Copies of this chain bind each other. A is one copy, B any other.
Amino acid sequence: MSKSPTTKIATHTADDVFVRGKSLCDDLIGKLTFTEMTYFHLLGTMPTPAQTAVLDASLVTLMEHGLTPSVVATRLVYTSAPEAMQGAVAAGILAVGSLFVGTVEGAAQLLTRIVSGDGDGEAEARRVVAEHRAQGKHVPGFGHPVHKPDDPRPGALFRVAEAHGIAGRHVAALKLLAAAVDDAAGKHVTINATGAIAAVLLDASIPSSIMRGLAILARCAGLVGHIHEEQSSPAMRAMWEAAERAVPHEP
């Protein structure tokens, strides 16, 4: 660990704030969208229009999927402690964990492995699937309890990537992996949203190390929306009572 750690993100003077060396007031406010600013803040360079498009599409995809456990937790906490909206958002974010985010990162690692292999992606994809089956593990990025036979979101994400000319090696690797998954399963298994997001973000040169953070950010926006609905149209008590009734006490 460095003896004298520093930060490269931001500094300020009486007259301005500087983020990654640019003047917040002259160069960033009114010049960048929130998505562009997020990319610039995270990675220190300006995104290309194609990167911005893929990032916007991924954030839009991840923002909302109905009354997920994360959303239910946020609504339960909000109505219990309405003095602190930040606590309700935090509770929902705490549910964006390994079950969901782990699959984006897991899928990204597999795609990277297939792409950086020594040429025969198809064989590597088959090896990946065989290894997972041998260990009784699910291949991350595949399958969905509701969206069967096909999750509709991957197609929409691939179209954005293609329209911006960056559906490349990782989307191709995901399709090889999908063929191997289907072959091994003896039936069609859908690519899901997290698999597709891993592929298009990697093709946009967005590193896997920030995918978890992007998922948290997208869900944060959705959670705020659910709190806003809870304020005017409260549903917490109905959710709570139904949850309580669903799990009776057994002596």
| A residues apposed to B, CB below 8 Å | 1-2, 4-12, 14-17, 19, 21, 24-26, 28-30, 32-35, 37-38, 41-42, 53, 55-57, 59-61, 63-67, 69-70, 72-73, 76-77, 79-91, 93-101, 146-148, 150, 152-153, 155-157, 159-160, 163, 209-210, 212-214, 216-218, 220-222, 224-229, 231, 233-251
Contacts and interface: CB of A to CB of B under 8 A. Distances in A.
A85 B212 contact: yes
A56 B225 CA distance: 17
Given A86-B97, A246-B238, A246-B242, A10 B221 contact: no
Contacts of A2: 233-234
Contacts of A82: 97-99
Give the top 4 A-B pairs by smallest Cβ distance, nearest first. Answer: A81-B97, A213-B224, A84-B84, A242-B246
**Interface of A: prevailing SS:** helix
26 contacts: A9-B66, A9-B249, A10-B64, A10-B65, A12-B66, A16-B152, A17-B65, A26-B156, A29-B153, A29-B160, A30-B160, A33-B33, A37-B60, A41-B63, A41-B64, A69-B76, A81-B94, A84-B97, A86-B96, A86-B216, A89-B216, A91-B94, A213-B225, A213-B227, A242-B243, A242-B246
